[in-house]
Structures are given as structure tokens and as C-alpha cells.
């Protein structure tokens, strides 16, 4: 029987891009059709059926949406409500340009201007929003996700900041220093706000291989790339745009781009595919790494598996395969990726800074302290944790595009000249290249450059991680038994619980954080999760309290921990029911 298996009828979502997992298609049928009856356009999107199943994306309008699915003579429908959250906390999207460059790198025939970049960032942000909601739901924690600022057309707003550096000057900066300078531009602009986390894409990433060398590994890719950055912490996640060429620029192309097996021209373009060499893998790996860095701004550390390890490399597989089974296995086609001889070049210890991430009254009053990255972390060269994956049914060639399907159009630009020494803003005209744009979702800011010092800190010793604390969720989300493919895109359990109660997800107001005295942890709101991390921010144990009435006082049961890291100190991270966060070394 044809059915939508991941969404209930009359369910309410807080985000607009709805993932549908559809099963039970009639035998022999090769195509399925999906449409939102509330859309002005009554055409169907067409998807390829694999093993009697397919996935689809539907863009929801505010309020009631009636979704119709057809395959052969079978049909089904569900009513889904889209009710955006009303709280003020959101993730603010930025596209960072240089004085002499606004384009991202891509094939020469591709449109690569700021307008195109914004379209791709919008779709990427919607996918991350959907992924978080779906994965938290699969953990039994509710379909929760972060909020994006939206236009009247229902697409995410993207602000554009032009930094006072040429692209050549930016390439002389190490990524930590580039992060610092872009952070201060945000702090000194009208975009600064206590209610925002910032996700910024830097346009100046350039892969340079003039000798046309054969690319052997990801370290070589990174060594040939200028302006690459992938850092997250506190209020800002900053990423490069070396793989933005692989992103979808409209909703109807998402599945096609995620499953694309087009080979990357590794002599001309950055291959961010984790050595898989295709546009689809490049899209998934890069967008997954963006979510990884955004996770650090939500107070997540590293884990032995999942998105906050190297599981972000399989972000695309989560959407392009159909039936979900959240069981864990150590036998996987990706096992070679975690051999000690192949350390990760894509994972680093996250940056942290101490500041109220908000504009101050004057430049002199801005004070930011940044802790530099420690040594790059090799996933199993250092720890040797158990390697976990989730199993999904394969459906890599999943999508058939329909060019006649309308999707929300990308808005035009507004440029604002801004000085951090003055509150006067002068609006300047900018002619967009895209037809029929709206004028409200993109703004440009030009700000003077500022720099600040980094505090150095010593890296502590690492240790072996207890394999017993791998993600232990063995709930079956779907009972379908079919062809399986390994997928590592999920949240480790402790990450999932922290996210589910985080104030940036739920919109909770600021309040008193939990307190730790000796082994006693207290919170007036009730403790939801406690996670222990070593000196490299790697989680090695956690406790969770997700019952209806969480305990206000917990005596931490240290004796339950069978193996400890060989560090002189560990960090205790706790979150309460109101989203208050404690981070304390002991």
C-alpha cells in the first residue's frame, strides 16, 4: 500500500522543507509523483522509484498543506501544517565577499555571482534545518530544529558583508585569523544581535592546481586551497565556499544534486567529497561539515561517531536513501576511512571565544578572546573508538528533475554602506541579475577591518575512548527490510539530547545555568543531560534524564565510568530543561 512513512497526518512542522519517505509503490512502477495542492503550480514533481520506495521534498506554505502522492494507479495524501516558531532566537545566514571579488569558485560556465551563491546557501540551510528535525524525531526527542530568518516568499534571508580585504590579501590569513576578522566585522555591524547565531560562507576560497597534479588525498586538496576555512564556536560558524558549486540552487534540484554521480574535475575544482570524487558526495560532505561547525555553536563537542565525528561526510545519503534503520554496525564500506594511517584533515577541535556576540557602543569597547585550535584531531589515530553507522536502503539514483516546476525565487540585493564608528546607514542601489526578484532577503554591509589578539594555550594529552559509549540507540524507525547501505549521518545520543533541549532550538529565555559543586549538580529547571569531555572536546560518557519531570539535583555517579581518559582535567557539560548550559573543567 502506498504510504508516507515518516510524517503523520495532520502533523505540524516548524520548518518549510518537508522530507517525505514513501513506500509501498506498486510493483513494476518506476516513477512516483508528488505535489502540494496548496501551491499555485499544480504540476507534480517526479521521482525515481527504487525497491518500491522513493524520497521527495515538498516546500510548505504557512498554514495548511495537502500533499498528494501518486504512483501508477495508487495514490495517498496527508495534511501537513507549517507553523513557523514565534521566538526570537535564530541562525542568521551571511555571505562574505571581498573588496574585489563576490564570486565563488566553480566551473567557468556556471553562474557564480553573489545572487547565485545566496540561492545555494538558502537551499543548504533549509536542508540542515530539515535534517536536524528528522534526526531528533528518529531519536524520540521530537521534530525540533533551529529557526531561520525568512522572507515573505518563505525563503531564508541571507545577508552579505563585504570585508575590507582583497581576495589576495585574505589568502595570506590563516583560517583562525580570517575567522577573527570576519567575526569583528559582524560585531561592529548592524547585524550584531544577542538573539542570533551566525553561519557565514566566505566567497574567497580558491583551489589552485596550476601544475595539474594528480590528487591523491584530502590533505593535498587542502594544501592547494587558499581561503579555506571551517571553524565554529561561540556565536559564529565560518566556512569556505570551495564546494558551493555542487550545491542545488532551487528546491526541485535538491535530490538530483545530492545523488549526482558526475565526476569532479580535480585539476580545476576543490574535491571535498571525502575521496569519493562525485558532485553528490561533495555536496553532502561539505554541507555536512557546515552542520558540524554549526553544531559547535550549539555547544556540541566531538563524538566517536555521527555528525560531530566524520559522519557528516554521509549527509547526502541521509536524503538519497529511503528506509531508515537506526541500528549500529561496525561492518561498513567506509571502514577504511578511519584507519589510523588515514587521519582526518576535515575535523579540528572547535574554537571558543568569550564575548557577548553583539555590537558594542564603540570600536574600543569590543573585546574578544579567541582560543586557538589545538592539533588537528585524527578520528581513530588518536582514540580508536568503535565505528558506528546507520543503515538505509540504497536509492542513490533517486531523482528525476522537472524543469517546469516553479519554486520560490531568490531575492535581489540591497547594499548598505556601514561604518562601525557611525550609526548612519546609506542605502545604495544594486542591480540584480536574476529576473523578478524580491527586495527583502539580502543586504550588503561594508565595514572597516579590525584585528585582535589570540591567546595561546597548550594542548593536553589525549587518551583512549571507551568504546562502550558509542551511540547506543537501537530503536527501529522503520521495519522495512531491503537492500542496505552504510550511512554515518546521525547525531550521537548525547548530542541529540543536548540539541533537543537547547535554548536556540526551543527559544527559551536566558536564565540561571546549572551549578556544579563537587559531585552535586543542581538546576531549578531540572537536569536533562550531562556529558563528560576530555581535553580535546571528545565526549566519552553521558547521562540523560528525559523523563517528564527531570531531577533538580543529581549526584554524578562517577563509579559507573569504567574507563577514563589520561587527561589531567575533564570538562563537565550539562544542560537543563530551560536550555541553560554549564561547562566546567574539573
Q: Give, for all 586 residues of the chain, the pLDDT tens digit.
A: 999 999 999 999 999 999 999 999 999 999 999 999 987 666 688 999 998 999 999 999 999 999 999 999 999 999 999 999 989 999 999 999 999 999 999 999 999 999 999 999 999 999 999 999 999 999 999 999 999 999 988 999 999 999 999 999 999 999 999 999 999 999 899 999 999 999 999 999 999 999 888 888 889 999 999 999 999 998 999 999 999 999 999 999 999 999 999 999 999 999 999 999 999 999 999 999 999 999 999 999 999 999 999 999 999 999 998 754 433 332 233 222 222 222 344 555 444 433 333 323 232 322 222 223 233 222 222 222 233 444 433 333 333 333 333 333 333 333 332 222 222 322 222 222 333 333 344 444 433 333 222 222 222 222 222 222 223 322 222 322 234 567 899 999 999 999 999 999 999 999 999 999 999 999 999 999 999 999 999 999 999 999 889 999 999 999 989 889 988 899 999 999 999 999 999 8
Helix (H) or strand (E) segment spanning residue 124:
helix 114-138
Phi-psi region of 154 (alpha: psi -120 to 50; beta: other; left: phi over 0): left
Is the distance from CB of 23 to CB of 53 less than 8 angstroms?
A: yes
Residue 36 lies in a domain: yes
pTM of the predicted protein model: 0.78
Domain finish residue from 371, 393, 415? 393
The number of beta carbons lying within 10 Å of the beta carbon of residue 495 is: 29
Strand-pair category, 225-226 with 11-13: unpaired
Residue the block writes with cell 571507551: 466
- Residue 94: domain span: 90-393
Is the distance from CB of 396 to CB of 316 less than 8 angstroms?
A: no
Q: How far apart are CA 232 and CA 91, in angstroms?
A: 13
Residue 497 lies in a domain: no
Same domain, 32 and 180: no
Residue 486 lies in a domain: no
Count, residues in the chain = 586
Q: How far apart are CA 523 and CA 247, in angstroms?
A: 43
Same domain, 101 and 16: no
Same domain, 14 and 118: no
The number of beta carbons lying within 10 Å of the beta carbon of residue 545 is: 16
Same domain, 199 and 75: no
Q: Name which of 140, 151, 82, 205 is nearest 408 in CA terms.
A: 151
Same domain, 96 and 77: no
The CATH number of the domain holding residue 30 is 2.60.40.10
- What are 280's three cell numbers? 553528490
Q: How far apart are CA 476 and CA 247, in angstroms?
A: 31
Q: Name which of 281, 183, 167, 138 is nearest 228 in CA terms.
A: 167
Domain finish residue from 393, 411, 441? 393
Same domain, 55 and 167: no
Residue 481 lies in a domain: no
Residue 330 lies in a domain: yes
Is the distance from CB of 104 to CB of 245 less than 8 angstroms?
A: yes
Residue 450 lies in a domain: no
Q: Name which of 92, 93, 571, 513 is nearest 301 in CA terms.
A: 571
Is the distance from CB of 281 to CB of 316 less than 8 angstroms?
A: yes
Residue 100 lies in a domain: yes
Domain finish residue from 35, 64, 82? 82
Q: What single string gives the DSSP state of each residue in 499-547?
A: HHT-HHHH-PPP-PPPEEETTEEE-TT-EEEEEEE-TTSBEEEEEE--S
Same domain, 29 and 46: yes
Same domain, 48 and 95: no
Total structural domains within the chain: 3
Residue 468 lies in a domain: no
Q: What Å distances lie between residue 344 and 145, 313, 348, 433, CA to CA?
A: 28, 11, 9, 40
Same domain, 12 and 119: no
Same domain, 61 and 141: no
The CATH number of the domain holding residue 530 is 2.60.40.1930
- What are 177's three cell numbers? 585569523
Q: What Å distances lie between residue 421 and 188, 198, 366, 426, 447, CA to CA?
A: 8, 22, 12, 14, 10
Same domain, 244 and 121: yes
Q: What Å distances lie between residue 62 and 19, 65, 149, 223, 504, CA to CA?
A: 16, 8, 14, 46, 22
Same domain, 78 and 95: no
497 three-state secondary structure:
helix
Amino acid at each position: 500500500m502506498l504510504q508516507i512513512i515518516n510524517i503523520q497526518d495532520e502533523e505540524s512542522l516548524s520548518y518549510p522543507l518537508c522530507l517525505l519517505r514513501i513506500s509501498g509503490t506498486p510493483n513494476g512502477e518506476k516513477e512516483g509523483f508528488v505535489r502540494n495542492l496548496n501551491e499555485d503550480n499544480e504540476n507534480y514533481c517526479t521521482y525515481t522509484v527504487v525497491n518500491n520506495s522513493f524520497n521527495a521534498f515538498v516546500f510548505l506554505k504557512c498554514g495548511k498543506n495537502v500533499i498528494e502522492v501518486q504512483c501508477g494507479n495508487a495514490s495517498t495524501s496527508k495534511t501537513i501544517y507549517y507553523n513557523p516558531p514565534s521566538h526570537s532566537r535564530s541562525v542568521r545566514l551571511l555571505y562574505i565577499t571581498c573588496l574585489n571579488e563576490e564570486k565563488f569558485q566553480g566551473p567557468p560556465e556556471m553562474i557564480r555571482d553573489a545572487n547565485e551563491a545566496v540561492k545555494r546557501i538558502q537551499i543548504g540551510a533549509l536542508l540542515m534545518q530539515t535534517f536536524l528535525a528528522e534526526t531528533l524525531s528518529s531519536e524520540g526527542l521530537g521534530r525540533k530544529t533551529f529557526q531561520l530568518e525568512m522572507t515573505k516568499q518563505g525563503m531564508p534571508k541571507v545577508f552579505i558583508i563585504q570585508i575590507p580585504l582583497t581576495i589576495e590579501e585574505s589568502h595570506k590569513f590563516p583560517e583562525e585569523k580570517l575567522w577573527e576578522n570576519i567575526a569583528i566585522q559582524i560585531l561592529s555591524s548592524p547585524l550584531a544581535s544577542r538573539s542570533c547565531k551566525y553561519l557565514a560562507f566566505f566567497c574567497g576560497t580558491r583551489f589552485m592546481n596550476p601544475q595539474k597534479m594528480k590528487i591523491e588525498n584530502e590533505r593535498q586538496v587542502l594544501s592547494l586551497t587558499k581561503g579555506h576555512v571551517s571553524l565554529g564556536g561561540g556565536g559564529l560558524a565560518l566556512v569556505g565556499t570551495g564546494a558551493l558549486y555542487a550545491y542545488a540552487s532551487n528546491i526541485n534540484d535538491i535530490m538530483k544534486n545530492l545523488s549526482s554521480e558526475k565526476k569532479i574535475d580535480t585539476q580545476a575544482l576543490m574535491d571535498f567529497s571525502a575521496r569519493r570524487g562525485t558532485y553528490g558526495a561533495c555536496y553532502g560532505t561539505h554541507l555536512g561539515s557546515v552542520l558540524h561547525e554549526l553544531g559547535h555553536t550549539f555547544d556540541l563537542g566531538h563524538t566517536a561517531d555521527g555528525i560531530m565525528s566524520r559522519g557528516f561526510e554521509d549527509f547526502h545519503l541521509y536524503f538519497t536513501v529511503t528506509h531508515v534503520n537506526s541500528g549500529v554496525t561496525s561492518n561498513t564500506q567506509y571502514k577504511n576511512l578511519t584507519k589510523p594511517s588515514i587521519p582526518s584533515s576535515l575535523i579540528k577541535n572547535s574554537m571558543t571565544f568569550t564575548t557577548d556576540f553583539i555590537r558594542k557602543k564603540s570600536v574600543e569597547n569590543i573585546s574578544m578572546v579567541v582560543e586557538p585550535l589545538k592539533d588537528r584531531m585524527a578520528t581513530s589515530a588518536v582514540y580508536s573508538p568503535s565505528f558506528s553507522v546507520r543503515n538505509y536502503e540504497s536509492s542513490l539514483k533517486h531523482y528525476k528533475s522537472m524543469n517546469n516546476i516553479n519554486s520560490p525565487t531568490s531575492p535581489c540585493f540591497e547594499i548598505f554602506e556601514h561604518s562601525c564608528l557611525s550609526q548612519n546607514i546609506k542605502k545604495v542601489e544594486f542591480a540584480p541579475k536574476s529576473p523578478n526578484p524580491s527586495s527583502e532577503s539580502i543586504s550588503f554591509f561594508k565595514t572597516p577591518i579590525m584585528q585582535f589578539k589570540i591567546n595561546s594555550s597548550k594542548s593536553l594529552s589525549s587518551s583512549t575512548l571507551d568504546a562502550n559509549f558509542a551511540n547506543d540507540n537501537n530503536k527501529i524507525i522503520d521495519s522495512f527490510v531491503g537492500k542496505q547501505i552504510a550511512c554515518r549521518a546521525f547525531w550521537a545520543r548525547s548530542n541529540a539530547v543536548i540539541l533537543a533541549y537547547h535554548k536556540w532550538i526551543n527559544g527559551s529565555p536566558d536564565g540561571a545555568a546549572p551549578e556544579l559543586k563537587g559531585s552535586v549538580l543542581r538546576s531549578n529547571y531540572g537536569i536533562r543531560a550531562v556529558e563528560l569531555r576530555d581535553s580535546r572536546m571528545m565526549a566519552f560518557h553521558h547521562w540523560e534524564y528525559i523523563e517528564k519531570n527531570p531531577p533538580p539535583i543529581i549526584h554524578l555517579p562517577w563509579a559507573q565510568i569504567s574507563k577514563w581518559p589520561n587527561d589531567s582535567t575533564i570538562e563537565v557539560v550539562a544542560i537543563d530543561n530551560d536550555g541553560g548550559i554549564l561547562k566546567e573543567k574539573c
